[in-house]
Structures are given as C-alpha cells and as structure tokens.
Amino acid sequence: MTATYGFAMGTRRARGTGTIFRDQRGYWTVVVPLSSEDGKRRRKVKRFRTRADAMSFLHEFERSRSGTDLSGASAYPSGAGTTTVGEWFDYWIYECVYPQLRPRTADGYRSAANTHIVPALGASTPLVNIRAADIRRMQHLVRQDRSPTTVRNVHTIAARAFDVAVREEEIERNPVRLVEQPRPARPALDVPTTQEVRHLLEAFKTRPDGLKWMTYILTGARRGEVVGRESTALAHT
C-alpha cells in the first residue's frame, strides 16, 4: 500500500513543503504555502490531470523555496495506526481547511476543533481508536452548554475531518458517519388557541380586507400566494 502523496508508506511530507491530493473531480491538486502578507497566511493551489505533473510542480516549488521567509517545517502526523486526534486535526486544519475555505470560515473550523472536538475525543487518543460511542459522547458534552445548532455544526466539521482521514488512509472508515446527525434547532412558535382563532375570524368579518386575513389563517398560505389568488379573482370579474 502506498501513501496518498505518492511516497513510500510511512513517509510524511514536512509541514510548509506543500500538499498533494486527488480531489473529487479526479484532478491531482497541489497546495503550496506562500510567504505571509500582513501577518496572513497565503496559499497557492494548482490542479493537474496526472500525478506526475503534480509531483513535478511540487518538486520545483521545493527547489525554489530555499531562502524564503516561509515558516519552519515540523513533522506531519506520525502515520496510519499511530496518528493521534490532536495531530490529525492540527494537520487537517493547516493543510486542508485553510487552503480551501475562506479565512473566516476556516477560523470557525479551527475554533470548533480546538474548543469541542479535540478536547472531547482526547488529543492523545489514536485516531484509529475513535468509535461511534466517542462521537456520541462528544455530542453530549457540546450539548451541555451550547445550542443545537452548534452541536450540529461540530458534528459536520468532525465528519469532514474524518472523511479526509479515510481518503488519506489514516483510518478505514469514518466513525462520525455511523452516528445520526443532530437535529437542527426548532424555533419556539407562539401558536394561537382555537378560541383566539374564532375571535379573529369574527373580527375579520367587519374589515374590508377580512377575507384576505381569513385566508391566511385557514390555509396557511404565504402572503404572495394570497395576493396572487386575489389578483386572479379580480381579473375574472
């Protein structure tokens, strides 16, 4: 078995030297870091039809980057079977999220990972040891002091991170996909009682636009739909 990057199994590229992967459309994609500008990270993304062309571009980048002000390299995840949750999410955020998403969105992913996902699953826990029960426990922990919307977002972000781990052969299957996605938040509705509706209908009988308001209540139609019906009725009179 070979690693995703096309190197011998167990070989990991150092951070800051670029990333190569195959996207959903089948293109070989290279993401390389550029020198920072006003304190902001910058990336360059190139896509190729063949892995050979992608590797050629990546090697040329490595040869040309000597002496630049790019940040120093550090080790990538330790490898399939030993990579920890903390190592993986650090790698995923740095190499996969920021090069692909807008900075504000990527910041949200990083916050969710650092605040909820990694602490709940355990930074030192091997990625291969995460089970569906661990994902449910993560949801319970987030739900204690966060809204249902946050729980749902955290679940979605974790699922995407583990999807990449499957593609890059760190794990065999995604444990997040084994757990039901949390339901979205349901707004509290102030629904009138039957008696209140009866009073409204009686009151509308004395109003010039009473028929329109009765239609809203009895059919649940939207305003535009009611106005459209009213216009159609007038056109046929």
pTM of the model: 0.53
133 or 209: which leads in pLDDT:
133
pLDDT at 82: 84
Range of the domain at 22: 1-71
Based on the fold, state whether residues 179 and 87 are members of the same structural domain: yes
Nearest to 121 by CA among 139, 147, 105: 139
Based on the fold, state whether residues 82 and 146 are members of the same structural domain: yes
Based on the fold, state whether residues 85 and 39 are members of the same structural domain: no
Give how many domains the chain has, as a whole number.
3
Average pLDDT across the chain, whole number: 78
pLDDT at 177: 95
Based on the fold, state whether residues 83 and 142 are members of the same structural domain: yes
| Boundary of a domain, candidates 71, 96, 118 | 71
Distance CA 227, CA 232 (A): 9
Based on the fold, state whether residues 208 and 172 are members of the same structural domain: no
Tokens of 146: 């966060």
Based on the fold, state whether residues 87 and 158 are members of the same structural domain: yes
| Boundary of a domain, candidates 71, 100, 118 | 71
Domain CATH for 122? 1.10.150.130
Taking 50 as the threshold, does the pLDDT of residue 6 lie above it?
A: no
Based on the fold, state whether residues 154 and 57 are members of the same structural domain: no
Cα radius of gyration (the chain): 27
Based on the fold, state whether residues 183 and 114 are members of the same structural domain: yes
Based on the fold, state whether residues 115 and 206 are members of the same structural domain: no
Based on the fold, state whether residues 23 and 61 are members of the same structural domain: yes
Q: What's at 167, amino acid-wise?
A: R
pLDDT in tens, 107-153: 899 999 999 999 999 999 999 999 999 999 999 999 998 999 999 99
pLDDT in tens, 154-207: 999 999 999 999 988 889 999 999 999 988 767 666 777 888 878 878 888 888
